[in-house]
Amino acid sequence: MATLKKQITPCLWFDKEAKEAAELYTSIFKDSKIKSITTLHNTPSPTPSGSADIVSFELSGQAFMAISAGPLFKFNPSISFHVKCKMKDEVDALWEKLSEGGTVLMKLGEYPFSERYGWIQDKYGLSWQLIFVGKSEMKQKITPVLMFVGNVCGKAEEAVNFYASVFHDAKVDNIVRYGKGEETDKEGTVKYAAFALRGQEFGAMDSARPHNFAFNEAISLMVYCDTQEEIDYYWDRLSAVPEAEQCGWLKDKYGLSWQVVPTRMDEMM
């Protein structure tokens, strides 16, 4: 598995709640910790909501960054976090804590793919898929999952292959496709794809159902680079929306937001 330092790190954009949310998540998940908290008090205010908290934390081996940067972007289910559990009781315990003040997307229960599963948006709007995996192999506890909807629905497989071409030592592990009778989804599109970037697991899926959301800057993926040459490589390969380029942020051709940053950025912050 990729080291935490070089992981592709999800960055979560909050209005004012980054520190509060990080404290909640690290209290819920085992083997978790807050690594650092930096507060910016620039004048004029660095965000529409006042001072900005930047929080680095870790949940069960998955690195995260959270920022309080104003009410510009809201979380939605286009990116969720798949949490694998060895025990059904663990699914239930996580569900109880994450569902408080949240919204149920798929109710907790038994499904053809798992005896215990549920999809929840917590009180901040962040999406979690909780699943009992029993004795199945579990390389990674928490997996970021990308859902391709709207004008990028049907492009999940193309996107997975594209990301695998960009990142060295990437691997497409498995693709499960929709079959006949699974409308509204088109036969042959991706029900679930498992792939790895920098040794780190990701998931992707298509969904042709009507959705009123898409990828946005509320969740971006941070790519840490050791050299300027490496930064230039990822920037040139990933960036496809010039007007979205700003301070290390970019959008790819599917609308997914990335940050290409120096490895030393955490130390500089």
pLDDT in tens, 218-260: 999 999 999 999 999 999 999 998 877 777 899 999 999 999 9
Domain 79-206: state its class: alpha beta
pLDDT at 266: 58
* Domain boundaries, given as residue ranges, for the chain: 4-74+216-268, 79-206
Q: Does residue 46 or residue 56 have the better pLDDT?
A: 56
Q: Distance between CA atoms of 161 and 170, rounded to whole angstroms?
A: 9
- Identify the CATH number of the domain defined by range 4-74+216-268: 3.10.180.10
- For residue 90, what are its two tokens? 């663990």
Residue 223 CB contacts under 8 Å (≥ 6 apart), including other chains: 8, 234, 258, 259, 260, 261
Q: What whole-number distance in Å separates Cα of residue 74 and Cα of residue 24?
A: 19
The CA distance from 221 to 223, in Å, is: 6
Nearest to 149 by CA among 141, 140, 159, 139: 159
Gap between the Cα atoms of 164 and 37, Å rounded: 33
Q: What is the pLDDT of residues 75-115, one digit of tens each?
A: 999 999 999 999 999 999 999 999 999 999 999 999 999 99
Q: Rounded to whole angstroms, how far apart are CA atoms 70 and 17?
A: 10
Q: Is 227:214 a contact under the CB 8 Å cutoff? A: no
- Report the residue count for the chain: 269
Extract the runs of DSSP E, i.e. beta strands, from the chain. Answer: 9-14, 32-40, 52-59, 62-68, 79-85, 103-111, 114-121, 127-132, 142-148, 171-177, 190-197, 200-206, 219-225, 249-251, 257-262
CA distances from 242 to 11, 152, 156, 232, 266 (A): 21, 19, 22, 15, 26
pLDDT over 60 at 46, yes or no: no
* Residue 132, beta-bridge partner list: 85
